Amino acid sequence: MTTFRQALLRLLLGSAFGLGLFGTASAGMVSTEDAIDSARIAETRTQLKALVQRPELARELQALGATPTEAQARVDAMTDAEVRTLAGKLGALPAGGALTNNELILILVLIIIALAL
């Protein structure tokens, strides 16, 4: 009977000490903003990869010594903050045909003068 009690005691002590070895899992709420931000970053990263594949940019990259595949790998290696920064800089660049307010006013004045004559 004592060997049974000793075995039971060893089993209980072993299981009690074994429970302490495992860490506890914790789960937190993911906010809607975080989920949307993650989706936007993935979309922006995809857009940057597509931009790298454009023929004119691919030629420029090859002239600089980088292939489009290497550029895509670098886009994949970027952090989320770097992707946001690069996308912001690209979005701030003027596209061909973008007019400033002064140019738009000048064109409107010229149209009004041409119609008045």
Q: Write out pLDDT tens, residues 70-102.
A: 888 888 888 888 888 888 887 777 666 666 778
Q: Write out pLDDT tens, residues 57-70.
A: 888 888 888 888 88
CA distances from 24 to 17, 18, 19, 20, 21 (A): 15, 13, 10, 9, 10
Q: How big is the chain by its Cα radius of gyration, in Å?
A: 31
Contact between 61 and 71 under an 8 Å Cβ cutoff? The reply is yes
Count of domains forming the chain: 1
The answer to whether residue 37 is domain-embedded is yes
Nearest Cα neighbor of 49 from 16, 20, 71, 33 is: 71
Domain ranges, residue 39: 31-91
The answer to whether residue 51 is domain-embedded is yes
The answer to whether residue 23 is domain-embedded is no
